[in-house]
Structure 1
Amino acid sequence: MADQQLAQPSNPMQAMQATIQAAPSTGPIAKDSYDELFDENMRLRDFHDTTVPNIFSVASMINDCVDMIKIIEERNLRNEKFINESTRLMTQVQESMAAREATIRETEKQEYDNKMRKLQAKHAAEKRQSRLEIQSLRQKVVRLERRLMDNSSTRM
């Protein structure tokens, strides 16, 4: 019945009267109450307008960090494979050197050992650096997630 009244009126006054009759009566709204509701509505709109872009921004930063972590982890795997292959080759070379050790002068052997130590030290330093980068990025993700939670809770 109320739906028919809302659909049929031809002028705005009839439509307003039909709406008033169809709605449950709550009584008139005081101007102070209306102003408070209006102000609260505006605060909620402002909160929504500022929070949603912030949430998307933080989520995007988190995704970027996760992508960077994946890239670094892949690089670490490649470095580890390279280190393993280098170690295997170094072992083969050392075994070969042991067989020919009588013919190799002591200084050449020391130079070789120094180069291998430097190579291992370089790869170890790269691995440590990669781990530090991953740790830093994970900490950044945690901070960004905490910031996201803080932003969400303080805006409410």
Structure 2
Amino acid sequence: MSEVLLVIKEMVFNNSFLLNAIVFIIIFNIFLMLSTYIYNKIYIKIYRDDFFDLFFGKENALIFREVGGDLVVVAYWFLMRYSFEVFSARKTRFPSCEDVLNKPFHMTPNAYKENVDLFKIKRNSWLVVNLIIYNIFSCYFVFALFIFLKFFNFLC
């Protein structure tokens, strides 16, 4: 670990401001990803039944538990879809239970509009926190890409 810190220290003191900004953004994003993973792992462990009901329903949740799948991975898939649905301009969000033509994402077969609405009532704080973190991560990624392109003079 000390070797990594030594390399980072040399990079900061010997290179330009833009490279230092890129290194800072990368370190911040790694910290943000780890803290988000730990937060979600603890939160999902506490409210496991609500997440199983939303993602799989009562019957399929028993199958998922027997297999031993990681619920955090499924939650990330759901958050990616949910954040896309929230920030996109599409009129239809998650499909309704009555809609026979549209099915939910295969990773979360029970994520119908009605179930998502019930989940939002119970766990809206979790959704809001993860959307904020997702936006911060996306903004830092775009900013790091811009700095990287600016550093190598791809942009004017």
Shared fold, TM over 0.5: no
- The normalised TM-score by structure 2 is 0.38
Higher relative contact order (CA closer than 8 Å, sequence separation 6+): 1
